[in-house]
């Protein structure tokens, strides 16, 4: 057991640093002092613009006013990701944030749908999804209903630089102390080996009891100082670079992200109020940086606003998210490409976990081990979900896609796919961020069709099943017919 934790030092002022500082100070209040150190000379990674619905909990916890948030971060609404050309060129499907249809007790809706599909009654699962209809129509409203049938779940696209600044304002208001300076030495306690202080280039010393490493890909504490080690996943996820390039906004902003597969990677298109965020995620084994930049530039759907910028990354995670008295959060803790917008969520999840385990009386080994077990499992499960998109594809038009199809994938994923193919069943595992509807949409979208369904789906006659399917579609589409357009909503709700 180490000493009591009275002061937390956060190293890094990107999204992860400011989110960590804000949440810890807001929830723990006077229990701890929080000091954040950041260096303007290094700057932030400056990408990370698409989120998933749990971000609403961060905003609620911090008491953020949603309309102000939308204005300050130039945010738009995100209902889904549209995956284009992933199974075959010219085809697309959505991964929405909601669940299709209405499930029966003990039997998910998709079993009913599978039966209907096999009978030739219904060919589109997504027509039973409220988010799909709103996304396709380019519409949005905050629905005032408790009925889970109409649970229109949403997240945001935002400007990552503005989001960091917004969180900084909140943190400073809550009492977080900000220190500007470049850390050029990390001092360890000679007896315990724990981090004791950070020495800045100007000579200033920042001491603390617990250190949160939010220093980005460098991992100044977890990696450079403690040498924690890295588990490399590039054999499953070979993309190791992204080229980013902003472009002019569209006249009408879509309430969804686009993810467009190319011969060796994929392109994101994220609509913001003032511009589109665009990027191409690729593998340097298949594209040179110049090829990637050219490909992106030639596939923008609005004029470019700036030059392209290449960002290099390594896919994998640090072997221990919590090592000694250092907890790695954000890019310092690992990286999974932004295909499912999971990185900011992983920041949130790490900080919430830390707050739950907060070692105010000193760090216990058992507590640290459990924190690490949970963090590893959470990362591994998201990794498998991302591999699914690449591995289960019918594309054979390039070496990249052939390699993706032929690679060996983690056993847990192999079993999950086999179970779904055979029975339509999807098991939700402990700590999996993605629930059944997410796995369902991506497995179906990538072309896996279950051969069987749950026997409870046989309880209705064919006529009754057809009637239920038709009614469900109508019910799920009806709200979007009444909604304002996405742009009208932003104007009415946030005045932008
Ligand atoms: C191409 C790409 C696209 C992405 N898209 C998404 C997305 O759509 N959705 C999503 O959720 N996530 C996305 N992410 C991830 C997201 O960008 C990051 O999770 C998020 O920005 C957090 O970054 P960070 O704060 O950990 O690191 P950074 O932003 O790199 O911040 C690091 C901080 O550490 C400081 N620092 C470093 N070294 C020192 C030192 N020696 N002394 C003092 N200060 C130091 C820097 O000054 C900086 O303030 C994407 C990432 C990439 C690479």
Asked if the model's pLDDT at residue 48 lies above 80, the reply is no
- 183 assigned binding-site residue: yes
Q: Are 196 and 188 in contact, with CB atoms under 8 Å apart?
A: yes
Note the pLDDT of residue 85: 98
**Ligand 1, residues 212, 338, 339, 347: which to mutate, most atoms within 8 A of Cβ?**
338
Nearest-angstrom CA–CA distance, 440 and 446:
10
Please report which confidence band the pLDDT of residue 1 belongs to, taking 50, 70 and 90 as the band edges. low
Burial class (CB in 10 A: 0-12, 13-18, 19+), 448: middle
Note the pLDDT of residue 289.
Answer: 97
State the residue for tokens 């597969």.
261
Q: Is the pLDDT of residue 309 over 90?
A: yes
Domain with CATH 3.50.50.60 in the chain: 7-49+159-232+314-363
Q: What percent of the chain has pLDDT over 70?
A: 100
**Reduced 3-state DSSP string for the chain:** CCCCCCEEEEECCCHHHHHHHHHHHHHHHHHCEEEEEECCCCCCCCCCCECCCCHHHHHHHCCCCHHHHHHHHCCEEECEEEEECCCCCCCEEEEECCCCCCCECCECHHHHHHHHHHCCCCCCHHHHCHHHHHHHHCECCCCCCCCHHHCCCCEEECCHHHHHHHHHHHHHHHCCEEEECCEEEEEECCCCCCEEEEEECCCCEEECCEEEECCHHHCHHHHHHCCCCEEECCCCCCCCEEEECCECCCCCCCCCEEEEEECCEEEEEEECCCCEEEEEEECCCCCCHHHHHHHHHHCCCCCECCCCEEEECCCEEECCCEECCEEECHHHCEECCHHHCCHHHHHHHHHHHHHHCCCCCCCCHHHHHHHHHHHHHHHHHHHHHHHHHHHCCCCCCCHHHHHHHHCCCCHHHHHHHHHHHHHCCCCCCCCCCCCHHHHHHHHHHCCCCCCCCCHHHHHCCHHHHHHHHHHHHHHHHHHHHHCCEHHHHHHHHHCC
pLDDT of 329 strictly over 80:
yes
Q: How far apart are CA 195 and CA 74, in angstroms?
A: 38
**Homologous superfamily of 7-49+159-232+314-363 in CATH?**
FAD/NAD(P)-binding domain (3.50.50.60)
Residue pLDDT, tens place only, 256-271: 999 999 999 999 999 9
Beta bridge pairs of residue 10: 36, 212
Question: For ligand 1, is residue 337 a contact (CB within 6 Å)?
Answer: no
Query: Across residues 327-336, what is the average pLDDT?
Result: 98
Q: Please report the atom of ligand 1 found closest to the CA of residue 330.
A: 26
The whole-number pLDDT of residue 3 equals 81
Tens of pLDDT, residues 141-165:
999 888 989 999 999 999 999 999 9
What does the mean pLDDT of the chain come to?
A: 97
Output the pLDDT for position 146: 87
Any binding-site annotation on 344?
Answer: yes
Smallest CA separation from ligand 1 atom 33, residue:
12
CB 279 within 8 A of CB 296: yes
pLDDT digits (tens, 9 = 90+) for 54-80: 999 999 999 999 999 999 999 999 999
Question: Which residues are catalytically annotated?
Answer: 78
* pLDDT band with cut points at 50, 70 and 90 for residue 91: very high
Residue 215 has pLDDT above 90, yes or no: yes
Q: Which atom of ligand 1 is nearest to the CA of 215?
A: 34
Report the distance separating Cα 71 and Cα 495, nearest Å: 8
Q: Is the CB of 220 under 6 A from ligand 1?
A: yes
CA–CA gap between residue 17 and residue 38 (Å, rounded): 9
Q: Is 213 in the pocket of ligand 1 (CB under 6 A)?
A: no
Torsions phi, psi of 147, nearest 5?
A: -70, 120
User: What values do phi and psi take at 386, rounded to 5?
Assistant: -70, -40
Ligand 1 atom having least distance to the Cα of 270:
8
Question: Which residue is associated with the tokens 């749950």?
Answer: 454
Q: Is 355 annotated for ligand binding? A: no
The rounded Å distance from CA 120 to ligand 1 centre is 48
Q: Ligand 1 centre and the CA of 31: distance in Å?
A: 27
Q: Is 222 annotated as a binding residue?
A: no
CA 403 to chain centre: 25
**Dist. CA 331 → ligand 1 center (Å):** 6
* pLDDT on residue 308: 95
Ligand 1 atom at shortest distance from the alpha carbon of 329: 26
CA of 7 to the centre of ligand 1 (A): 23
Average pLDDT over residues 363-375: 97
| Ligand 1 atom closest to 15 (CA) | 25
277 lines ligand 1 (CB under 6 A): no
Q: Is 199 in the pocket of ligand 1 (CB under 6 A)?
A: no
pLDDT value, residue 40: 92
15 lines ligand 1 (CB under 6 A): yes
Q: Is 49 in the pocket of ligand 1 (CB under 6 A)?
A: yes
4 Cα–ligand 1 center, Å: 29
Tell whether ligand 1 has an atom less than 6 A from the beta carbon of residue 279: yes
pLDDT for the residue numbered 117: 98
Give pLDDT, residue 47. 87
Whether residue 2 is predicted with pLDDT greater than 80 in this model: the reply is no
Of 374, 353, 326, 334, which is closest to residue 222 (Cα–Cα)?
Answer: 326
Helix axes 365-391, 399-406, angle to 10 degrees: 130
Return the structure tokens found at 331: 């890019």
Pick the residue whose CA is nearest to atom 17 on ligand 1: 48
Q: Which atom of ligand 1 is nearest to the CA of 42?
A: 47
Both tokens of residue 268?
């994101």
Average pLDDT of the residues in 421-446: 97
* Closest by Cα among 481, 495, 472 to 112: 472
Q: Ligand 1 centroid to 492 CA: how many Å? A: 33
CA distances from 24 to 39, 51, 350, 356, 420 (A): 21, 21, 11, 10, 40
Q: Is 169 annotated as a binding residue?
A: no
Q: Is 377:367 a contact under the CB 8 Å cutoff?
A: no
**CB of 348 closer than 6 angstroms to any ligand 1 atom:** no
Closest residue by CA, ligand 1 atom 14: 48
What average pLDDT does the segment 97-109 reach?
96
Q: Please indicate whether residue 310, judged by its CB atom, sits closer than 6 Å to ligand 1.
A: no
pLDDT at 46: 86
Percent of the chain beyond pLDDT 90?
A: 97
Predicted local distance difference test score (pLDDT) of residue 214 = 98
Taking 90 as the threshold, does the pLDDT of residue 170 lie above it?
yes
Ligand 1 centre from 216 Cα, in Å?
5
Sheet holding 195-200, edge to edge: 183-188, 195-200, 205-207
């Amino acid at each position: 057991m180490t000493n009591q934790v009275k002061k937390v030092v956060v190293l890094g002022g990107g999204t992860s640093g400011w989110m960590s500082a804000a949440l810890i100070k807001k929830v723990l209040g006077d229990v701890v002092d929080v000091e954040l150190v950041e260096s303007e000379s290094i700057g932030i990674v400056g990408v990370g613009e698409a989120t998933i619905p749990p971000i609403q909990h961060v905003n609620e916890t911090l008491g953020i006013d949603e309309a102000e948030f939308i204005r300050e971060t130039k945010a738009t609404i995100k209902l889904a990701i549209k995956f284009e050309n992933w199974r075959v060129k010219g085809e697309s499907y959505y991964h929405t944030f909601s669940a299709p249809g209405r499930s029966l007790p003990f039997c998910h809706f998709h079993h009913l749908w599978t039966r209907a599909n096999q009978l030739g009654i219904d060919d589109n699962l997504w027509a039973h999804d409220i988010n799909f209809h709103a996304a396709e129509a380019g519409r949005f409203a905050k629905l005032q209903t408790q009925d889970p049938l109409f649970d229109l779940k949403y997240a945001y696209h935002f400007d990552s630089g503005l989001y960091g600044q917004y969180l900084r304002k909140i943190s400073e208001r809550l009492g977080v102390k900000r220190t500007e300076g470049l850390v050029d030495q990390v001092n360890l306690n000679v007896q315990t080996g724990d981090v004791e202080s950070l020495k800045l280039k100007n000579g200033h010393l920042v001491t603390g009891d617990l250190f949160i490493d939010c220093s980005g890909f460098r991992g100044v504490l977890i990696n450079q100082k403690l040498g924690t080690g890295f588990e490399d996943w590039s054999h499953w996820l070979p993309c190791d670079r992204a080229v980013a390039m902003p472009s002019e906004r569209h006249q009408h902003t879509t309430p969804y992200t686009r993810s467009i597969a190319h011969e060796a990677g994929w392109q994101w298109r994220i609509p913001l109020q003032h511009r589109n965020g665009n990027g191409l995620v690729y593998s340097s084994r298949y594209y040179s940086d110049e090829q990637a930049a050219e490909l992106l530039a030639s596939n923008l759907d609005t004029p470019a606003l700036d030059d392209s910028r290449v960002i290099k990354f390594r896919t994998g995670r640090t072997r221990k998210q919590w090592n000694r008295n250092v907890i790695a959060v954000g890019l310092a803790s690992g990286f999974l490409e932004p295909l499912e917008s999971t990185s900011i969520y992983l920041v949130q999840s790490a900080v919430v976990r830390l707050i739950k385990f907060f070692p105010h009386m000193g760090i216990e080994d058992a507590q640290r081990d459990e924190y690490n077990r949970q963090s590893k499992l959470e990362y591994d499960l998201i990794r498998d979900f991302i591999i699914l998109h690449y591995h289960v594809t019918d594309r054979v038009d390039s070496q990249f896609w052939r390699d993706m199809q032929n690679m060996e994938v983690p056993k847990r994923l192999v079993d999950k796919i086999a179970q779904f193919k055979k029975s339509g069943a999807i098991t939700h595992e402990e700590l999996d961020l993605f629930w059944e509807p997410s796995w369902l949409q991506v497995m179906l979208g990538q072309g896996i069709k279950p051969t069987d369904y749950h026997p409870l789906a046989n309880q209705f006659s064919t006529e009754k099943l057809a009637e239920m399917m038709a009614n469900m579609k109508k019910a799920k589409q009806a709200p979007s017919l009444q909604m304002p357009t996405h742009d009208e909503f932003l104007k009415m709700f946030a005045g932008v």
